[in-house]
Amino acid sequence: MNVVDTTPPVITLNGNATETVQCGSSYTDAGATAADTCAGSRPVTVTGSVNTAAPGTYTLTYNANDGNGNNAAPVTRTVNVVDTQAPVITLNGSGTVTVECGSSYTDAGATATDTCAGSVSVTTSGSVNTTVPGTYTLTYNANDGNGNNAVPVTRTVNVVDTQAPVITLNGSGTVTVECGSSYTDAGATAVDACDGVLTVSTSGSVNPAVPGTYTITYTVTDGQSQTSVATRTVNVVDTQAPVITLNGSATVTVECGSTYTEDGATAVDTCDAFPVVNITGSVDTGTPGTYALTYTATDASSNSASVTRTVNVVDTQAPVITIPGPNPDFVLVGTPYTPPVATAVDACEGPVAVSTNGVVDWNTIGTYTVIYTAQDSGNRVATELLTVNVTADMPPVITILGDNPAVLDCGDSYTDSGATANDPEDGDVTANITVSGLPPVGPLAPGTWTVTYSVTDSYGNTTTADRTVTILDNCTLAVSAVGPTSLRVIQGQSATFEVAVSGEVGSVSLQWFKNDGSKAWVALPGETGTTLTFDPVTMGNAGTYQCEASDAVTTATSPVFTLEVDETGMPVAGGLGLAALAALTALAGAAATRRRK
C-alpha cells in the first residue's frame, strides 16, 4: 500500500491581515503559523518589508512547504504606513520678547520637525515697528508635505519705551558768577528715542547780588510720561575780602600789671552785610614786651582780610615797698631792736629784693632813719623810710575795735565801735582817747569819712590811729511817672502830671521845676506834692516840667513831662509835643537822674 501526502499545509496569520502603522514609528511583524495534516507544524517564510519612514501600503507574503512537495497557499498581510501627525514648531528664543523703542529687532525665527518628513521649513507672518511702542505678534506655520499643517506658534514682541529723554545742557553744568554781576541762563535741549526733540521747562532762579550756590533745574517729559531732570549749579561768589577798621589806635601802650581792654574792630564787605571779626593773639600785661593782635574778618564766601594792632606793655613804675609795723616806731632805750623786714612787689616782676640801710643805736636816745630800697630789672628804684625813735618812755598803742575799713549801705547809720589804748608806763589809757571825724548821726549819703583816734601818755607821747568809713553809692530813691509824661490840651481845660516815689530813706520832700528854656530849671513856688495840676490851663503853661525828690541822704529826679497847649482843638494825651517845645524837651532830657546832696 502507498501512503501519499497530497494535502498542502495551511498558513494562519498571527494578528490582523491588515495593519496600520504611524509613519516614523517602528513595526514588528506578528508572523504566521503553518499546520500540515501529515507533517504537522511547518515553518513559515515571509517575503516583503515595511518602511515605517515612508507612508504607503506594504505587503508581506507568508509561504510554507510540508516537505512532501506540497506548498501551502500563500497568505498576505497588508501594512499601511500612514502620516497623520502634523509637524511640531519650536521657537528659537523666548515666546515673549521686549524691545526698547528706537532700537532694532532681529527675529530669532523658529524650527519645525515632523516625525515622518523630519525638518520642514517654517513660514513667518507679521511685523514689528520698533519706532512705535506697542505689542506685536509674529505667527510661525509649517506643513509636512503630507497634508498635515502644524499648529501655528506665535511670538509676542513688546516694543516699550522705558528710556527717559536725554537732556543736554547748553554750556557748562557749573557756572561761576561774581557777586553783583548779571546772569543769563544758557538753557538746555532734550531728545527722546521715541518722541524725538522735546521742549525743556526751566525752574529756579539766581540772585547775583547774594553769594551762594543756586540750582537751575531743567525738566522734560516724553509721551510715555517718563521724566528726565538735569541741573546746572550757579555759584555766585564773592572774591573781594572785607575791609577792616580798627576801633581805637593801631598802637597802644599799656602799663605792666594793669588791665588791657580790647577796643575791637569793625568789618565791611560789599556782599556780606555781617562779616565777623575774629581776634587772634593775646596780651600779657604781666610781662613787658610788644604784642601783636591780629584781626581777621571772613565773609560768607571765605574771603579774609587781616589787620594788626601793636600793644606795647611797658614797665615805668618802680616796685612798692611795704614796711610792716608802725611808722614811726618807738623803742625803749636799752631794748635790743632789729628793724622789721620789708617786702617789695613790682607790678611786672612780683616780689623783688629789699635792701636796708641805716643803724638804730637802741642804747642811745634819739631819732633814727632806716632806708629801704628796692629795684626792678629795669633799674627803677623805690625808697621807703622808717623812723625809729629810741626813747626813755614808750608811746601808747591804740587798737581799733570792729571793722576797718567799715563799709555801709546808702542810708545806713554809723555806730562807732571804739578803740582801746595801752601804754607801757601808764597802762590802760583807753579813757584818754579822743575821737574826731565821725560821720554825722542818722542816715548817711554815699561818701567816705576818716575817724581818727588819738591818745597822749603822761610823758607827752601822742599816738593816733585812723578808721575809714565808706558809704556805698547804692541809694534806692527813685521818682517815676504815674500816667502819661506828655499831654496836649486846649487852654481853659485842666491838666495834671503825677509822680510816685520809692526806695526813700526817711522822710521825702518834693519840688516841681519848670525849664525856662535856657537849660535852667526854675522851682515852682508851692508845688511840693506828688501832682502838678493846671486848672485852668493857659498858653503860658506850655513847657517841660520835672519833679525832684529829696530824702535823708540823696536826691532823685523824675522823667521830663511835656505840656502842649492849643488855643482850640481836641486834647491829646501822650503825643510827642509841639515843634516849638521839642528843643525844650531835648534840653531837659527824658531820663530820670539822681543828684547827691
Domain boundaries, the chain: 10-82, 88-160, 166-237, 243-314, 320-391, 397-471, 478-596
pLDDT number for residue 569: 54
What is 88-160's CATH number?
2.60.40.10
**Whole-number pLDDT of residue 584:** 35
310 is written with which cell numbers?
601793636
Could you give the percent of the chain with pLDDT greater than 90?
72
**Residue 594: per-residue pLDDT:** 39
Backbone angles phi, psi at 419, to 5 degrees: -155, 165
Please say if the pLDDT value at position 277 is more than 60. Answer: yes
CATH node for 243-314 = 2.60.40.10
CATH superfamily of 478-596: Immunoglobulins (2.60.40.10)
Rounded average pLDDT over 301-319? 92
C-alpha cell at 498: 503825677
pLDDT digits over 112-144, tens only?
A: 998 888 899 999 999 999 988 999 999 999 998
Look over the chain and give the mean of its residue pLDDT values, rounded to a whole number: 90
| CA angle in degrees (0–180, nearest 5) for 548-553-558 | 20
SS3 394: coil
Q: What share of the chain is helix, strand, coil (3-state, %, to 5)?
A: 5, 50, 50
Chain Cα centroid distance, residue 451: 61
pLDDT-based confidence at 286, cuts 50/70/90?
confident
Cα distance between residue 39 and residue 59, in whole Å: 28
Q: What are phi and psi of 588, to 5 degrees?
A: -70, -35
pTM: 0.41
Structural class in CATH, domain 166-237: mainly beta
- Fold match flag (320-391 vs 478-596): yes
Q: Please give the pLDDT value at position 283.
A: 95
* Each residue's pLDDT tens digit, 493-511: 999 999 999 999 989 999 9
Distances (CA, A) of 131 to 196, 198, 387: 11, 16, 121
Q: Tell me what pLDDT residue 323 has.
A: 95
Higher per-residue confidence, 424 vs 64: 64
- Give the three-state DSSP class for 358: coil
Instruction: Give the count of beta carbons closer than 10 Å to the beta carbon of residue 111.
Output: 16
Alpha carbon distance 583, 517 (integer Å): 8
**Number of neighbours of residue 454 by Cβ within 10 angstroms:** 18
Q: What is the dihedral of CA 545, 551, 553, 556, to 10 degrees?
A: -20
Q: Is 74:63 a contact under the CB 8 Å cutoff?
A: yes
Residue 542 pLDDT > 60: yes
Q: What is the pLDDT of residue 516?
A: 78
Task: For 161-216, write each residue's pLDDT tens digit.
Answer: 888 999 999 999 999 998 878 899 999 999 988 888 999 999 999 998 888 899 99
Question: pLDDT value at position 113?
Answer: 93
Q: Calculate mean pLDDT across residues 241-262.
A: 92
CATH fold, domain 320-391, is Immunoglobulin-like (2.60.40)
pLDDT (mean) for 307-321: 94
The residue among 12, 7, 62 whose CA lies nearest residue 36 is: 7
The fold of 397-471 is Immunoglobulin-like (2.60.40)
* DSSP-based three-state secondary structure for 301: coil
Length of the chain: 597
pLDDT digits (tens, 9 = 90+) for 368-393: 999 999 999 889 999 999 999 998 88
Whether the per-residue pLDDT at 482 is higher than 90: the answer is yes
Q: Report pLDDT for 586.
A: 36
Residue carrying C-alpha cell 530824702: 551
pLDDT at residue number 519: 63
Q: What is the pLDDT of residues 12-24, one digit of tens each?
A: 999 999 999 998 8
Question: Which pLDDT tens digit goes with each residue over 385-420?
Answer: 999 999 888 889 999 999 999 999 999 999 999 999
Residue type, 385: L
Q: What is the mean pLDDT of residues 440-463?
A: 93
Alpha-carbon distances, residue 52 vs 136, 166, 194, 374 (angstroms)? 41, 64, 56, 141
- CATH code: domain 10-82 is 2.60.40.10
Residue 518 is predicted with a pLDDT of: 67
**Band (246; pLDDT cuts 50, 70, 90):** very high
Residue-level pLDDT at 115: 86
Q: Residue 570: what pLDDT?
A: 45
pLDDT tens readout for residues 42-73: 999 999 999 988 898 999 999 999 888 899 99
Could you give the CA distance from residue 449 to residue 302 in angstroms, rounded to a whole number?
A: 60
- Spatial neighbors of 18 by CB under 8 A, at least 6 apart, are 77, 78, 79, 80
pLDDT, tens only, 569-595: 544 443 333 333 333 333 333 334 334
